[in-house]
Structure 1
């Protein structure tokens, strides 16, 4: 061919500054684009061969090589794909933004599968100029009689074309790296980038460092080591990628061990996942992947999910919210969707309606998996619940359709250490609970209240995660007539002793007045009841509404906003208890005045300690007072 010089046809004015500064957010994207194009070239050739329009002879091992050379400041991307003729170079390289993949698909639309072609974007090749001063293409088409072509451009707008010495089918792209991009010549950095984007590329991918030199052999020990190294070098090099990721297999052909091994390999998490969902569909869109429910070491890990999105086995990004419903970000997984309408930089999506259908399908599959576990493996479902319940509740809050699908399989661990749905809980406690759902948030702090419930054959559910306060408010709007009350917010009639001798109004008034004086608190609320548990002298109740408002103010306000809410803590005195009876009998006895005061303070603090932790000063007084009481008992 004759030497040709010319100007590249650019469809958009000043497109190169856009490519370099705006189109791609990260410089390493050039590797993703060029290796993707190489994979695309192989896919085209493979498809043509399968329909009898290309002869590839015995050379049917498809592979891609990336070669870094620090001495020459070059990076080469080499493939043995379809190659290009002189006319195709002019068309696909010299006319920026004309997509070779689009043209190929149009020509073979009745014979090929569009999903197998990665490079829908003609601009991808030009990402090379983000890092290279000069780019050279050497390419030889698969077509019989084709001549190899060399294309060189130093500025990205002027090019030179000539014959190439390349004698094997495929394409070699040589990047002469710019001074500000020499870090990409480092073998370890390049390996990191290739593994990031191409761990599951469908064709074997190799990294080579041509600048590595052999060290001279000095003595016998060195010679022995060198022979060992030589033997090692003779072993066949291994590709960086797995060309057949697990998500491509049919679920029925995958073993539990394979799922676990894949999880460890991809996420470097050596804790086994609880269970997983294998997505595998071809219609109405092509979607494959595996979602894992990880075991959480602590609740804060619920923000640390990672779902990797792939496009024909090429990594695109983590946690793209348009495709992955927000609540699924708590999971770990891989999703490969060749039908995604990505834009030119493959970082954003272009068709919200289509993408929302993909998102809805993923949500449905997750709900179906949870329902299947509940129906068929209830024991395992119960076992998983402590780990997955924050995820399920968050999903209910964020996705109406998800809530509709799983609302009947949301379960609760009870103070009897079994699991029940809301419906089951209400049914078995309807006689004593008056259609209320009692719950606890801290087993240790609320131990006294739990014991009262258990002694009276009552039960509460355990709500111990941060999301629970939001979740129960949400449920109260969804479940007609259901109200949640923390175990220390109300006194059920089932806990009261209806057969005990009642305390008259005057005695109740006297007790309230006495405790206000002793505790020096005019706003203290006192309630006198006869409880079945005679060993309990007193307990604190805080209304559900008041506590929720206080918690909300702390969560959203940060500062102490308690002044905005009236103090609604109530001291309940148990008239069935000996200490309260002593106070009633001795409160007017001047000789026992100090003892009565001390016991009133002790009863109050004991009740408060069952409700929440005492402030430091109050705790100091409680300890000193306890010592005085014991000294009195000891006759000292």
Structure 2
């Protein structure tokens, strides 16, 4: 067989069903596409005026008008842009995927510095109209002197009609959609308004919406969009109040943001935007971030992870990048190495902002920490390069409320417990341990963020030799007192007394001499077992049994007066001894964790019995 060459053919009768069903991910996108086309037509005309190619009144007000006529079942999109001649209609409309925008850019490429304000690229946006329309009509008049208005009509097949237009008298284009019966929701004025506000809130041309035949007051005729969004301005020209107002308007949040980052990059790619750090009422709000992605001021989607790393999606903001390699529907990103560069640049800018705050506004940075710590810690866990950038500005709150870095904590405590970091997760629940630590002139860090269990494991893997221990997991040597021979002799007797009452909650019993003589006993929880139990609970879910349980040690303080006296009680009074030992165990458990309902019942019952003993005395 000889080698032959040929051309791939497209069966045009099948192209419209494909466009209608598969080209766009969301049906309502047709409104975005047709309005974008109108904005492009106006942008082209403005360029021609600038180049001296079109003689148009420069003070003329440009706009795109969307008109709903529910009674007639039509939706119109009208612009006063460049318009089209009959030849151009045949060229741009009847040739599927022939981009008028690209053709315009190529025609004037030697005289145009950039094409950032031209939205269209694929020549397919117009055909999105057929997703909802059984018939589409174009009436257009070119800006060129002597041009005749043209009407083009198509019923969604491969045939069309084109003839002189009797309706179009002014320069520009009107696209009329005769809406299908299964798409009547797009004839509701509130629905169209909602879609325009979603996709077109920041398009560069004013957009108006009206109901045909309905009179509107002049003061009600306001554009639905902001043609100059704040991110398009230079940061030096924006005030704090403008940033706050923009945040509240876009994200419907009545609270002021903590701070923001204004991105303004021209090289090696075009990127503008504002990222806000919201003030959280509670940690769960951190999962409700929203970063809106725009392409030439056209909304694309929320929270695109290819551009915005998932840990930055805890924030709220807008990103506009004309250089994004979008697919033909402008709904998803194509895989591209430049996307990774953009993503890394955004991460770098966020890190730079945090470092600048730490160095120049340390007091404010510390004040923000409670709200931003979950974002920073999650970022470190998800992106090690982010951790490497900001590791020296991660702060922790001490027991006295001051903020300190890990390096500073280790330096302050190296003589007391070198490379060991004590921490607290619940200041109220662990108050007994905190009291003992303070009396011994020891300090601990408060780690009460939901991510801290993972974060400290991450830090241990990154900081050589450093280990974290919760305040109830270990007795520092500083907490221990001197043990005399007399106390040593009591240890075995004390241990035996408590062995008889120890519950399943206690794996081991130890007798120690503590400086704090007021505490009869305390519970220690193995750091490793507790972390494993928490991980098991988190990943196993509520309905699954935990594979790991916390290992608890009961430490009896032989320096406590009650414990000393307990050893002198007659062994024949066993019921009384057991009651007191059980009660001491209850108190130790109570200071370490919340009692279960059954444990609480037992504790109250023993309390009542002890009160009765006191009264009987």
Q: Same fold (TM over 0.5)?
A: yes
Closer, same or farther: CA 410–140 of 1 in aligned 2, 3 Å: same
- 2:184 counterpart (182, 185, 198): 182
Cα distance, 1:563 vs. partner? Answer: 7.3
1:628 counterpart = 2:612: no
Aligned partner of 1:330 in structure 2 is 314
Q: Distance in 2 between matches of 1:388 and 1:181?
A: 45
Aligned partner of 2:206 in structure 1 is 204
Aligned partner of 1:443 in structure 2 is 427
- Bigger mean CA offset, 512-521 vs 39-48: 512-521
CA contact (8 A) 1:550 1:562 kept: no
1:555 counterpart = 2:538: yes
Aligned partner of 2:115 in structure 1 is 114
Aligned partner of 1:61 in structure 2 is 61
Q: Distance in 2 between matches of 1:555 and 1:625?
A: 34
Cα distance, 1:617 vs. partner? Answer: 2.2
Q: Distance in 1 between matches of 2:595 and 2:13?
A: 71
Aligned partner of 2:148 in structure 1 is 147
CA contact (8 A) 2:526 2:550 kept: no
Per the alignment, in what secondary structure is the counterpart of residue 500 of structure 2?
Answer: helix
Per the alignment, in what secondary structure is the counterpart of residue 417 of structure 1?
Answer: coil
Q: Distance in 1 between matches of 2:261 and 2:81?
A: 35
Per the alignment, in what secondary structure is the counterpart of residue 36 of structure 2?
Answer: helix
Deviations 1:477-502 (A, max 9, x none): 10101101111111110111136566
1:618 counterpart = 2:599: yes
Cα distance, 1:78 vs. partner? Answer: 0.5
Aligned partner of 1:28 in structure 2 is 28
Aligned partner of 1:382 in structure 2 is 366
Q: Distance in 1 between matches of 2:486 and 2:271?
A: 70
Cα distance, 1:518 vs. partner? Answer: 2.7
- 2:471 counterpart (487, 506, 527): 487
Aligned partner of 2:234 in structure 1 is 250
Write the mapping of 1:311-322 to structure 2, written as runs, cut at 5 A: 311-322=295-306
Q: Distance in 1 between matches of 2:133 and 2:544?
A: 59
Cα distance, 1:156 vs. partner? Answer: 3.6
Per the alignment, in what secondary structure is the counterpart of residue 76 of structure 1?
Answer: strand
Aligned partner of 2:6 in structure 1 is none
Closer, same or farther: CA 566–159 of 1 in aligned 2, 3 Å: closer
1:130 counterpart = 2:165: no
Per the alignment, in what secondary structure is the counterpart of residue 317 of structure 2?
Answer: strand
Q: Distance in 2 between matches of 1:560 and 1:336?
A: 44
Aligned partner of 1:303 in structure 2 is 287
CA contact (8 A) 2:64 2:208 kept: yes
Closer, same or farther: CA 475–604 of 1 in aligned 2, 3 Å: same
Cα distance, 1:454 vs. partner? Answer: 1.1
- Bigger mean CA offset, 622-631 vs 368-377: 622-631
- Bigger mean CA offset, 136-145 vs 123-132: 136-145
Closer, same or farther: CA 385–507 of 1 in aligned 2, 3 Å: same
Aligned partner of 2:456 in structure 1 is 472
- Bigger mean CA offset, 98-107 vs 338-347: 98-107
CA contact (8 A) 1:79 1:170 kept: yes
Q: Distance in 2 between matches of 1:211 and 1:614?
A: 71
Cα distance, 1:615 vs. partner? Answer: 2.1
Per the alignment, in what secondary structure is the counterpart of residue 518 of structure 1?
Answer: coil
Q: Distance in 2 between matches of 1:417 and 1:285?
A: 44
Q: Distance in 1 between matches of 2:389 and 2:11?
A: 49
Cα distance, 1:198 vs. partner? Answer: 1.1
Closer, same or farther: CA 313–610 of 1 in aligned 2, 3 Å: same
CA contact (8 A) 1:534 1:577 kept: yes
Deviations 1:105-158 (A, max 9, x none): 222222221221101121110000001111001111112222211100012421
Cα distance, 1:305 vs. partner? Answer: 0.3
Deviations 1:60-86 (A, max 9, x none): 321110011112111110011111111
Q: Distance in 2 between matches of 1:276 and 1:45?
A: 36
Write the mapping of 1:285-296 to structure 2, written as runs, cut at 5 A: 285-296=269-280
Cα distance, 1:620 vs. partner? Answer: 1.6
Q: Distance in 1 between matches of 2:545 and 2:28?
A: 52
Closer, same or farther: CA 501–79 of 1 in aligned 2, 3 Å: farther
CA contact (8 A) 1:579 1:599 kept: no
Q: Distance in 1 between matches of 2:110 and 2:422?
A: 64
Per the alignment, in what secondary structure is the counterpart of residue 138 of structure 1?
Answer: strand
CA contact (8 A) 2:270 2:322 kept: yes
Deviations 1:370-411 (A, max 9, x none): 000000000000000000000000001111211111100010
CA contact (8 A) 1:452 1:495 kept: yes
Per the alignment, in what secondary structure is the counterpart of residue 64 of structure 1?
Answer: strand
1:545 counterpart = 2:528: yes
- Unaligned 5+ segments in structure 1 are 1-8, 214-231
Cα distance, 1:507 vs. partner? Answer: 3.6
Closer, same or farther: CA 190–419 of 1 in aligned 2, 3 Å: same
Per the alignment, in what secondary structure is the counterpart of residue 319 of structure 2?
Answer: strand
Query: TM-score, length-normalised on structure 2?
Result: 0.95
Per the alignment, in what secondary structure is the counterpart of residue 96 of structure 1?
Answer: coil
Cα distance, 1:613 vs. partner? Answer: 1.5
CA contact (8 A) 2:13 2:158 kept: no
Q: Distance in 1 between matches of 2:474 and 2:538?
A: 24
Q: Distance in 2 between matches of 1:29 and 1:619?
A: 60
Deviations 1:46-70 (A, max 9, x none): 1121121222135632111001111
CA contact (8 A) 1:200 1:245 kept: yes
Write the mapping of 1:224-303 to structure 2, written as runs, cut at 5 A: 233-235=217-219, 237-303=221-287
Query: TM-score, length-normalised on structure 1?
Result: 0.92
Per the alignment, in what secondary structure is the counterpart of residue 106 of structure 2?
Answer: helix
CA contact (8 A) 1:432 1:494 kept: yes
Write the mapping of 1:84-99 to structure 2, written as runs, cut at 5 A: 84-99=84-99
Q: Distance in 2 between matches of 1:237 and 1:336?
A: 28
1:518 counterpart = 2:519: no
Closer, same or farther: CA 352–409 of 1 in aligned 2, 3 Å: same
Cα distance, 1:508 vs. partner? Answer: 2.7
Per the alignment, in what secondary structure is the counterpart of residue 630 of structure 1?
Answer: helix
Q: Distance in 2 between matches of 1:440 and 1:123?
A: 59
Aligned partner of 1:192 in structure 2 is 194
CA contact (8 A) 1:415 1:460 kept: yes
Q: Distance in 1 between matches of 2:186 and 2:299?
A: 19
CA contact (8 A) 2:204 2:228 kept: yes
- Unaligned 5+ segments in structure 2 are 1-8
- Bigger mean CA offset, 305-314 vs 427-436: 427-436
Aligned partner of 1:218 in structure 2 is none
Q: Distance in 2 between matches of 1:564 and 1:306?
A: 36
Closer, same or farther: CA 349–523 of 1 in aligned 2, 3 Å: closer
Aligned partner of 1:169 in structure 2 is 171
Q: How many residues align?
A: 607
Aligned partner of 1:43 in structure 2 is 43
